[in-house]
Structure formats: C-alpha cells, structure tokens
Amino acid sequence: MAFSGAQVLLFPFPTAGHIIPLLDLANHLINHHLKLTILVTPQNLPLLEPIRAIHPSDSIQTLCLSFPELPAGSSFAARVRATSELYNPIVDWFRTHPSPPVAIISDFFLGWTDKLAFRLGVRRIAFWPSGAFTCLVISHTWSNVEEILSTTNENSLITFTNIPNTPEYPRWKVCTLSSQYKKGDADWEFLRGGYFENMKSWGVVFNSCREIEGVFIDRVKKEMGHDRVWAVGPLLPLDNNMVGPYYFQRGGLSVMPRDEVMTWLDEKADDSVVYVSFGSRAMLTRQQADALARALECSGVNFVWCLRIQEEGHVAGNVDVVTKEYENRVANRGLIIKGWAPQVAILSHRTVSVFLTHCGWNSVLEGISSNVLILTWPMGADQFISAELLVNQLKVGIRACEGGCQVVPDSVELAHILSESISGAHPQKERMSKLHHSVLEAVQKGGSSSQDLDAFVKQIGQPQTETS
C-alpha cells in the first residue's frame, strides 16, 4: 500500500494504559492512509512491535526520546512536567524533518504540547484515552480545586451542576490526584495548567462514542466553543478481527500461552465464567486480595483471575495470597494468571459473562465490546468516575466494592454478588446487551464513530487555513 496522506506526530503519555489506546487510534489512522510518527521512550518501544508488524514500514515511524531521570519519590506532577523537557528536541526534529507533521495528537496529560504546536505552526489535538464524562469531571475539578480542597472533610459531596444529569461524588472519589495539589508549587501548577490548555486545543479526540456518552460529548463541544470534538471509539474493533494477531499481542505477550487459556475456557459452559482483573497499574492491598480470594472460593463460580506480579521491578505484595494450596482447592473452576493476560480474547469467549474490574477506561470499553456484565471495583484515578457512569448513568454495571485502598469488601457479601452475577436475572444485563449492539453499530461504516473518524481524518488533511 502506498501512503500519500498527511504526516502526523502521535505523543502518548508513557504508561501502558495511555500508550495502548493511542496505538489503537494509530491503527485506524494508518488504515485511513495517514503517515504516522510515534514518539516513544526506549523502555516502551516493545509496545509498538505488534502494530509495526502489520503495517508497511513507510506508514509508521518512531521518534525515540528519553525523559530526564527524576529523584526517587518524585510526585506524579513532577513526572508530567518532566515530559516538557522534550520541547526543544521535538522542535529540532521538526526543523530538520524533510516532510514534518501537519498535526500533533498528544495525550491529555501533555497539555503543554498546545504551546509547542503553536510555535511549530501546526494543529494540536488532545487525545483522551478515557471518555467525555471523565473529561468534564476532571476539568471542572481542576478549575475549582482550591474551593474543593478548602474543606478537610473527604466525604463532603461535590455536585457538578454544569454536567448533564448533575453527578455527585464524595470528595475522596474525584480528588485522587488533585488532593495532592500544592498551590504555588511549580510541578502542580504545570499539571493544572495542562488541563486548561487541553480545552484550548484545536481539537479533541475521545476513545468513546455517542451511543455511550452522547450528552457529555455535546457538553464538551459547548465548553470548547466549536465542533472539532470527535468520538471515534471504541478503537478496539468489534468484529471478527477483535481477537486477531495484533490484539493477541496488544500491550504485551501473555505469561500463559493463549491456547492454554482458551482450552481451559472451552471446557466450561456458556456464560458461566467471571473474569477478574484490575489492569496494569491498580494494586489491591493484602486485605483486599484476601477478601477477594475467599469470595471467589466461596462463590462457587468459574473464574479467571489475572494477578499483577510486578510493580516497577518489585514483586507485588498480594501475589502470595494465591498459594499452591489455594490453587489446588479451586483447580476445577479457577484459573490464576500471574502476569499479563490476553484480556480481549478472554472477554470475547462464549463462556465469559461477567467482568469484575477496576473500571480503567480500556477495560470498560473492552467489557462493553464483549457484552459482559460489569462488576465495578474502582481503585483510583478516573476509575470512580467510570464506575459512576456504568452504575448510575448507563445502568449497565453493578457495584461490587466502593474501592480505593482503604475499603475491604465483606467476602461473604462479595461471594453472593459473584454468584448472583452468573445465575441471576439482572436488568443491567439486558441494558448492556442493547448498549453493546448500539456500540457495535457505531463503529460500522456509516455509524457515529466511523463518521467521526472519517471527518477527523478529512480535516487533518486539509490546509490549516481552511479548518482553523
């Protein structure tokens, strides 16, 4: 295939949960004949191997740059600010490129790239690997962070009157990051300013769709004052290619051979398995892992439990909850995967009907894409916001645990929820089925996400004077 489309620079925030959805977007953009350069750090280069393997070499290039070393214990805000050290190297790369990009698509944590794009005379598109509802809640929180943090009561309710349906949260659920804000601190002011830059960007792309978040997408357009807001997700394909070669390796190779996992699932009855995973970063405490292990054992359900085993090079603290004795006791109905698992393939299997998840947005979309009942157990970041969307806005999820590092569920109650999720008749299942089918239609040709993707690519390819 010959590529004659515009050149675009993609700049993800350097963590797997942000890189993977941007690579999913890259896959679609290449199929729409854009040429891409992806900025990546050396340690994250392996994440690009699956997508580079399926596309011609002239369609996707890499710009490999390293961030400066930070002292141990540096704040998240310091990590975000450190990414701006790449400002001058990116400018130098642009200046020497024979055919430089016409646009920069960068993660929402990288709001500073709006100024970079202005200097380079190109468009900057803010990419939200999460949804429009999350964008609105987070942006409102940071706009009013001093007022919100003026009360010391973490259970005080924050009402978002400017967001459709007026969602309401206790402060501790929406301030998992902003609660660390220090007025006047250079790192935290830089992080906060980045959110304001996002709302001034030339355009915004969401890994979401109107069928999930139509009313919230319209609100973002109103806040930004223009219609250059595209919902192009779920970027994960919802057809027979969903478990194709790229998606087998997406995010990393499974520690357990995929065929072994599929063989285990093949032996179970349809809609009889609960899949349990808390993503690539969320971490249960020892007490929470104990409660979950007891609940799974007592529930009587078939389950696949994906356990994280490493945290920045160290063995995770709750892996030893799953002893050999425990594995033997649940051997006939429980499969334990200690490390990265082929999540998309598991969720898509005919035997899996329930997903106990931390509500990371990638997992939320994969659950909807697979038409499974979602049990919510948010742990931090934007996961409480996504849980609210699933349980109270869309009404397709069931709350399993309030979440966070302090809340330990009652194992007997959780066992009952797990058992009922498989055997019970829940209205959430029917609503999820309807949502799943509407989302499936959204990504088909002529659907809302397909149309938004086509429109986005068309506008990117036009001269800037025509679309500014």
Q: Are residues 109 and 125 in the same domain?
A: yes
> In total, how many domains does the chain have?
2
Does 408 map to a domain?
yes
Q: Are residues 341 and 192 in the same domain?
A: no
What digits encode the pLDDT tens for the residues 372-407?
999 999 988 889 999 999 999 999 999 999 878 788
pTM score: 0.89
Q: With CA atoms as reference, report the closest residue to 379 among 348, 351, 394, 401.
A: 401
What digits encode the pLDDT tens for the residues 334-374?
999 988 788 888 999 999 999 999 999 999 999 999 999 99
CATH, residue 14: 3.40.50.2000
Q: Are residues 34 and 99 in the same domain?
A: yes
Using CA of residue 200, residue 216, residue 455, residue 97, what is the dihedral sign?
Answer: positive
Does 273 map to a domain?
yes
Distances (CA, A) of 333 to 47, 298, 329, 403, 457: 32, 12, 9, 26, 47
Does 2 map to a domain?
no
Whole-number pLDDT of residue 317 = 46
- Which residue has better confidence, 280 or 233? 233
Q: Are residues 429 and 450 in the same domain?
A: no
Of the candidate ranges 108-122, 237-251, 360-374, 446-460, the one whose mean pLDDT is the lowest: 237-251
For residue 243, pLDDT beyond 60? no
Does 151 map to a domain?
yes
Does 468 map to a domain?
no
Q: Are residues 317 and 174 in the same domain?
A: no
Q: Are residues 338 and 448 in the same domain?
A: no
What digits encode the pLDDT tens for the residues 254-270?
678 888 999 999 999 99
Range of the domain at 117: 7-237+442-461
Does 389 map to a domain?
yes
Does 135 map to a domain?
yes
Q: Are residues 12 and 107 in the same domain?
A: yes
What digits encode the pLDDT tens for the residues 160-181?
988 999 988 888 888 788 888 9
For residue 286, pLDDT beyond 80? yes
Please give the structure tokens belonging to residue 196.
């304001």
Q: Are residues 76 and 195 in the same domain?
A: yes
| Nearest-5° Cα angle at 141, 138 to 147 | 170
Q: Are residues 192 and 307 in the same domain?
A: no
Q: Are residues 224 and 266 in the same domain?
A: no
Q: Are residues 285 and 433 in the same domain?
A: yes
What digits encode the pLDDT tens for the residues 435-449?
999 999 999 999 999
Q: Are residues 449 and 401 in the same domain?
A: no
